[in-house]
A = this chain, B = another copy of it.
């Protein structure tokens, strides 16, 4: 059986070495806190204004300000900065925390499209940093698609009562 990592690499086209090249440098020290805040702000401005209702609705239960803070705190922590996210919310637990959301291949591509545009719109991100971040984001997005499929496996478990094999409602 393919591992989460192998699925992420295959679907994203970004292998682990390129995805985790972010660890070979300290992007937080290089770019600074304000750049990460701007990036996440640019990103969610786009997401919450997305013309596609199916995509926009994935985020509709969270306030935009909270989504921005959650994201930039995670990025800062993961890219060499202080552990802002864990101090406030605990382990990133990326798959567990994405559990309520339908992280499909299509959603991953649309997320990445907004992120590419947000990166381009954020000044002070040099090309090398941008490439490293995009590789990390792309691999991670499909890692979460792989994580989402674990959930679907569970939903498809047959009912013990009637043996119905169909999917059950996600909670």
Contact = CB atoms under 8 A, between A and B. Distances in A.
Interface of A: 3-5, 8, 16-17, 19-20, 23, 82-83, 86-97, 99, 139-140, 143, 147, 150-151, 153-162, 164, 166-171
Contacts of A143: 90-91, 93
Contact of A161 (B4, B95, B159): B159
Contacts of A17: 87
Count of identical protomers in the assembly? 2
A157 B171 contact: yes
Contact of A20 (B23, B83, B155, B167): B83
B155 A160 contact: no
A93 B99 CA distance: 12
